[in-house]
Amino acid sequence: MTSQVVEGATRPETALPPAHRHPLEPVLRADALPHIWCPGCGIGVALGAFLQGLERAGVPQEKRVIVSGIGCSSRVVYYARTDAYHTTHGRAIPFATGVKLANPSLHVTVFAGDGDLFAIGGNHFIHAARRNMDLLVVCINNFNYGMTGGQSGPTTPHDARTTTTPHGNFEVPFNLPQLAAAVGAVYVARWTTLDVRRLRDCFAEAAGKTGFRFVEVLAPCPVSFGKNNDIGSGLDEMDYYRGLEHVWGSAGGMPAPVERRESGDLSGTEISLHRPIVVGKFLDRPRPTFLDNYADVNAKTRGEKTR
Ligand code: SF4
């Protein structure tokens, strides 16, 4: 199976009068619409926030690259007007690593789902974070394999029902921010698609940093996860988030983060089906990237002065 290249860094001319244009039209591939997502799905909200965030961060459009894997979330590459690659299942991070190393001036984002990034692609995630590869990794977490029928995956909450765990999930899920922090990410955040402005600002901030940055987006999948767990429609799932979410460090009994933010101790941010969901920016700690360290070793080898 080969990767599919989606080219398109140029902003289109449009014949539509201003009142009829989509506000994101210059960065959205309007000719690819309608999209494939189900009514109430949260992926489009996340994509909108991401595109707005890159605009705010001032990342030049010709420098943007998005790499995705396989699944509903990975279809974003068809709708963003950037150079983009729809790669194979679980292999978005190694592909993106190659893009970044071939042309370090590019701003490379991996945009994929929880199953893709943390089941088949889990090993790539931990090693790219360990190396501090300069990538922004966005995980749309809807707690199941939506595209293939709602099977359980590595982030399905314990006790949640899926098509393969109809009596409740007997596995314990990954806590994605905790995992990212433990293996070396420099920036870690989690928001839901309810927090659309915070999400936009988070993408803008993350896009302006270097190193392995990880943003988890909790997004409704009403046709699978929502239906199987009696949550209801996409709107109902947003209401479910509204009832459960707490911002990290805010009032409400969540862990005080100040002294823990640097250490990467994110205990207490695990997700259960009906327990509070902690969202926020968890970690922001710069450290040398893979390419920084590589340049240092090369300079030392040549007897040059290093950082
Ligand atoms: Fe979205 Fe779920 Fe439908 Fe996929 S199956 S498009 S994740 S609602």
* 76/58 Cα distance (integer angstroms): 20
Nearest CA to 283 out of 193, 204, 186, 209 is that of 186
Alpha helices per DSSP H over 158-287:
176-183, 196-207, 227-228, 234-244
Q: How far apart are CA 48 and CA 62, in angstroms?
A: 18
What is the CA(258)–ligand 1 centre distance, in A?
36
Rounded distance from Cα 104 to ligand 1 centre (Å): 34
pLDDT at 248 (0 to 100)? 87
Residue nearest to ligand 1 atom 2, measured at CA: 221
Q: Which of 4, 18, 132, 147 is nearest to 68 (CA)?
A: 4
What is the distance between the alpha carbons of residues 269 and 267, in angstroms, rounded to a whole number? Answer: 6
Q: Give the CA angle between residues 269, 43, 81 to the nearest 5°.
A: 125
Ligand 1 centroid–CA 217 distance in Å is 14
Nearest Cα to Cα of residue 137 among 64, 198, 188: 188
Whole-number Å distance between alpha carbons of 151 and 213: 28
What share of the chain has pLDDT > 90, as a percent? 80
Which of 26-30, 58-62, 236-240 has the lowest average pLDDT?
A: 26-30
Best mutation site among 35, 36, 38 for ligand 1 pocket (most ligand atoms within 8 Å of CB):
38
The reply to whether ligand 1 has any atom less than 6 angstroms from the CB of 146 is yes
Residues 104-163 have pLDDT tens digits of 999 999 999 999 999 999 999 999 999 999 999 999 999 999 999 999 999 999 999 999
* pLDDT > 50? residue 215: yes
pLDDT per position as a tens digit, 254-272? 555 555 666 678 888 999 9
pLDDT over 70 percentage in the chain: 90
Q: Is the CB of 70 under 6 A from ligand 1?
A: no
pLDDT at 4: 63
Which of the four pLDDT bands, split at 50, 70 and 90, describes residue 2?
very low
Closest ligand 1 atom number to CA of residue 140: 7
The C-alpha atoms of residue 25 and residue 280 are separated, in whole angstroms, by: 29
Determine the atom of ligand 1 nearest the C-alpha atom of 224.
2
Find the DSSP H helices in the chain: 43-57, 92-102, 114-115, 122-131, 176-183, 196-207, 227-228, 234-244, 290-301
Predicted structure pTM score: 0.92
Cβ(202)–Cβ(241) below 8 Å: no
Atom of ligand 1 nearest to the CA of 234: 8
Q: What is the mean pLDDT of the chain?
A: 91
Sheet containing strand 187-192, edge to edge, reads 4-6, 83-86, 64-68, 107-113, 136-141, 213-218, 187-192, 277-284, 245-247
Radius of gyration for the chain, computed over Cα atoms and rounded to the nearest angstrom = 19
Indicate the pLDDT class of residue 31, thresholds 50, 70 and 90: confident
Looking at ligand 1, which atom is closest to the CA of residue 73?
7
By DSSP bridging, strand 245-247 and strand 277-284 are parallel
Q: Residue 1: what pLDDT?
A: 40
- Residue 190, classed as helix, strand or coil, is strand
Which of residues 140 and 15 earns the better pLDDT score? 140
Task: Place 17 in a pLDDT band, splitting at 50, 70 and 90.
Answer: confident
